[in-house]
Amino acid sequence: MKTYHLSVVVATGLVGQEIVRLLQSRRFPAESISLYSSDRSVGRRVAVNQRELVISQTSPEAFRDRDLVFFAAGAEVARYWVPLAVQYGAVVIDASEAFRAEPDVPLVVPEVNPQDILNHKGVIANPNCSTIQLALLLHPLDKVNPIKNVVVCTYQSVSGYGVAAVDELARQTRMVLDGQTPAPHVFPHQIAFNVLPEVDVFMDNGYTREEWKLSEETRRVLHANNMIISATCARVPVNVGHCQAIHIEFVSSINTDDARRILSGAPGVRVTDDPSVSLYPQPWSVAGTNDVTVGRIRQDTRTPTSLALWAVADNLRKGTALNAIQIAEEGLKRGVI
Amino acid sequence: MKTYHLSVVVATGLVGQEIVRLLQSRRFPAESISLYSSDRSVGRRVAVNQRELVISQTSPEAFRDRDLVFFAAGAEVARYWVPLAVQYGAVVIDASEAFRAEPDVPLVVPEVNPQDILNHKGVIANPNCSTIQLALLLHPLDKVNPIKNVVVCTYQSVSGYGVAAVDELARQTRMVLDGQTPAPHVFPHQIAFNVLPEVDVFMDNGYTREEWKLSEETRRVLHANNMIISATCARVPVNVGHCQAIHIEFVSSINTDDARRILSGAPGVRVTDDPSVSLYPQPWSVAGTNDVTVGRIRQDTRTPTSLALWAVADNLRKGTALNAIQIAEEGLKRGVI
């Protein structure tokens, strides 16, 4: 069996750490793994596959002789380093939004559009966490009964914004419980015991980039240019796990039994749906699991062609790190990495 | 100026306390106020208008010589006592859902359908908190451009479920921060750092009663039998303030400037909408205020006839107690109380 030389760039963030953990637990055929980060964490030691690895400073040489590099950094870092890594001959799977809209960069959810991987020119982009979650659910339904439009409202956890955001939620929560008024640092306003309808920056049309990405990226992953997705994205005081309330209008009528059957058979999807015992997906129970979990499957009251769902996924797993590794696994299988 | 003999039944819950506070701060023309509760709080003293009132045990005599009784109890308590209060000659404003669907009980949001008060037969019902918030926003828009359908997703605070729920959120939050796993008592699952897509009980069609009420009551308040409202209601770890992401489809095209102008002029509505400085409604800043605050007014991407909004209201104020008192004020003005 062939083995590969891997790198993880920014291996110390929430997503980078999750990639390193999953590479081990999924027994990814790694010949070697090297870990990189920004200045502050350089020199820190991390145990990987019973060996101790030292986190190194990112440099062009980091990509020499690497088969595959996972980028779990922000878009700015990715824009600088990804082209260098490709120049040195590595295939890059990038979790940032830097290359997602590039026509010759495949944007991939392996259960949905694995064939797109074949067209890569060195970079494969991981969609936004909310996109992966939504695309995975829409795809099996859309294949059977084309989707006209979707209204999706998100309840997103703070870990999507990184370690500092998780720390801020904990710190602010303690302060509020102690009767103090916390000042926001990471988020524009207090996030403890609050809801902020602002995920990523605002655009001129009144939408946030998160809402725009959720729409544009999902259409791209599904190859569904005519599907209309209208989103409201909000941040809630939850650590891990994004929720989505999804209201879908199809071309033809659909009943809940069919929808449940289709979703139950879809790869990467788990149906958890028994209202009689309050069984439905929730962040607390979905965090740490790999599937997109869906429940509350019911007829949308608007038309017999509409359906309503409630879905939760671990935004660090299937939302980011797991999807990136699945792209790599799919690429190996198809012989293009 | 005529003054009135008032009672508040279950004056010790979150809503009852808010009613007592608002009766004072709005200088409601009260000749006397008497406060009632269940066994446990009987005998407790409360300061009202610089006088100390003792909370009494609810009894049929409690309603003798009363002009107006505010019921801030659950539906079961209301079903038992409200008919007795009416029999004793009082006009009742009931915040529970007990009588909301009765054809001869007006269901009123004073800014929307004040004329319905004229038809009361002794009982006037206060709509559900989510309904009041939604109806107040839809009404001015619907008058100008009829609404075909609405998809609304809620982010509801725990105080809608009473004092015990607020205590449970605080207790569970401390436990999670201390690394413990809390057992749920009030809610079916942990609410701290979690989201529960279950508000009120589930019905056979997969909807919760909260979702059903939000649809049916809003149609009734708006006298809009053909308007379709599809809802997902979820509970979030917030103390006070319900959020709603509202996606509306109209009969004719609508632009955001017109919508902003219409909403800015609507009674009980405040527009807070400047994304360039992260200004939008949020529970933390709306709690303790009287208006339904709306922002993030933008074109819904589905059609030029659609609009998306984000609204927050204090569920104990306009959501319940304030609306009940406004019904009374409107009844006095129209001479039917």
Which of B230, B245, B284 lies closest to A302 in CB terms?
Answer: B230
What pLDDT score was predicted for residue A29?
96
What pLDDT score was predicted for residue B103?
94
Q: Is residue A80 located within the same domain as residue A165? A: no
DSSP classification of residue A126: P
A205 CA to chain B: closest CA distance, Å?
A: 7
Interface test with B, best of A154, A177, A230 (most B CBs within 10 A): A230
What pLDDT score was predicted for residue B137?
98
Percent of chain B at pLDDT above 70? Answer: 100
Task: Say if strands A306-313 and A242-250 run parallel, antiparallel, or are unpaired.
Answer: antiparallel
Q: Is residue B199 located within the same domain as residue B283? A: yes
- Rounded mean pLDDT, B146-150: 98
Contact flag B282-A229 (C-beta cutoff 8 Å): no
Whether residue A278 contacts residue B198, with contact meaning beta carbons closer than 8 Å, is answered with yes
**pLDDT-based confidence at residue B289 (cuts at 50, 70, 90):** very high
What pLDDT score was predicted for residue B40?
81
State the residue range of the domain holding B45: 4-127+320-333
What pLDDT score was predicted for residue A49?
81
B152 membership: H or E segment, kind and range? strand B147-156
User: Interface pTM (ipTM) of the complex?
Assistant: 0.96
- Rounded mean pLDDT, B283-297: 97
Q: What is the CATH number of the domain that holds A122?
A: 3.40.50.720
Q: Is residue B296 located within the same domain as residue B329? A: no
Interface test with B, best of A154, A168, A195, A208 (most B CBs within 10 A): A195
Q: Using the structure block, give the residue that is written with the tokens 């207790």.
A: B171
Q: Is residue A135 located within the same domain as residue A102? A: no
pLDDT at A32 over 90: yes
- Rounded mean pLDDT, B135-161: 97
What pLDDT score was predicted for residue A50?
83
Q: Is residue A285 located within the same domain as residue A174? A: yes
Contact flag A234-B155 (C-beta cutoff 8 Å): yes
What pLDDT score was predicted for residue A240?
97
Contact flag B306-A230 (C-beta cutoff 8 Å): yes
Q: Is residue A166 located within the same domain as residue A299? A: yes
CA A298 to mean position of chain CA atoms:
26
**A89-93, A317-321, B62-66, B87-91: segment of lowest average pLDDT:** B62-66
Q: Is residue B95 located within the same domain as residue B190? A: no
**A174-178, B42-46, B166-170: segment of lowest average pLDDT:** B42-46
- Rounded mean pLDDT, A164-172: 97
Q: Classify residue B178 as exposed, middle or buried by CB count within 10 Å of its CB (0-12, 13-18, 19+).
A: exposed
Contact flag A197-B247 (C-beta cutoff 8 Å): no
**pLDDT-based confidence at residue B47 (cuts at 50, 70, 90):** confident
Summary mean pLDDT of chain A: 96
Interface test with A, best of B166, B185, B189, B194 (most A CBs within 10 A): B194
- Rounded mean pLDDT, B53-78: 93
Contact flag A193-B283 (C-beta cutoff 8 Å): yes
Task: Between B162 and B238, name the one with better pLDDT.
Answer: B238
| pLDDT digits 0-9 by tens, A144-154 | 999 999 999 99
Catalytic residue among B120, B139, B233, B242: B242
- Rounded mean pLDDT, A78-98: 96
Q: Is residue B118 located within the same domain as residue B175? A: no
What pLDDT score was predicted for residue A1?
78
Nearest-by-CA chain B residue for A294? B197
A218 CA to chain B: closest CA distance, Å?
A: 14
A133 CA to chain B: closest CA distance, Å?
A: 17
Summary mean pLDDT of chain B: 96
Hey, which residues of A are catalytic here?
129, 242
Q: Which chain B residues are within 8 Å of A285, Cβ to Cβ? A: 189
Distances (CA, A) of A118 to A87, A125, A320: 19, 13, 21
Q: Which chain A residues are within 8 Å of B216, Cβ to Cβ? A: none
A71 CA to chain B: closest CA distance, Å?
A: 29
Q: What is the CATH number of the domain that holds B308?
A: 3.30.360.10
- Counting every residue written for chain B, the total comes to 337
Q: Is residue B84 located within the same domain as residue B44? A: yes
Q: Is residue B243 located within the same domain as residue B300? A: yes
Count CB pairs under 8 A between chains A and B.
161
pLDDT at A182 over 90: yes
Q: Is residue B104 located within the same domain as residue B243? A: no
Interface test with A, best of B208, B230, B248 (most A CBs within 10 A): B230
DSSP classification of residue A297: E
Nearest-by-CA chain A residue for B216? A301
What pLDDT score was predicted for residue A248?
98
| pLDDT digits 0-9 by tens, B213-224 | 999 999 999 999
pLDDT at A62 over 90: no
What pLDDT score was predicted for residue B171?
98
Nearest-by-CA chain A residue for B296? A206
pLDDT at A47 over 90: no
- Our count of domains for chain B comes to 2
Q: Which chain A residues are within 8 Å of B149, Cβ to Cβ? A: 302
A76 CA to chain B: closest CA distance, Å?
A: 22
Q: Which chain A residues are within 8 Å of B234, Cβ to Cβ? A: 155, 243, 245, 310
| pLDDT digits 0-9 by tens, A3-14 | 999 999 998 899
Q: Is residue B123 located within the same domain as residue B210? A: no
- Rounded mean pLDDT, B299-322: 96
Distances (CA, A) of A101 to A70, A105, A112, A152, A218: 18, 8, 18, 21, 12
Q: Distance from first CA to last CA of chain A, Å, rounded?
A: 14
**pLDDT-based confidence at residue A38 (cuts at 50, 70, 90):** confident
Contact flag B197-A230 (C-beta cutoff 8 Å): no
**pLDDT-based confidence at residue A48 (cuts at 50, 70, 90):** confident
Query: Which of A47, A10, A6, A55 is closest to A28 using CA atoms?
Result: A6
Which of A194, A297, A306 lies closest to B284 in CB terms?
Answer: A194
What pLDDT score was predicted for residue B263?
98
pLDDT at A40 over 90: no
